[in-house]
Structure 1
């Protein structure tokens, strides 16, 4: 079977952009990784504090529903 050419060669998650991101992550120093992790933690904390209790409850309900539906799909296929 001939090999796929062009965009067809990137089946799945191995796109050119994903490879560039992965390579840049691999080439970061430990200090850069620590600062990036700290920035992400701070962003998440700020988002949590700025959100209202209603938004938090709605997000929890949506996550619970998503999990319930996923479990139901798995049991249906079995």
Structure 2
């Protein structure tokens, strides 16, 4: 989500350069429509990334708990040469 933060302002700056260079071209309306479309896409992507962030953190926490449970399960297993009572 952080990486998408500057994209909108970069798009705005690039668009201003196009408008200045285009002068009175009839394509300015189309450029504005394309820009608006990209701005919506950027915001949608930021929203999706934001919603995934919490879910991914929850998965990591759950996996860490599973890993710890598996490790604890093996802690009591005695192996030859592993310092156990064999």
Q: What TM-score results when the alignment is normalised by the length of structure 2?
A: 0.33
Name which structure has the greater RCO, CA cutoff 8 Å, separation 6+.
Answer: 2
Quick check: which has more Rg, 1 or 2?
2
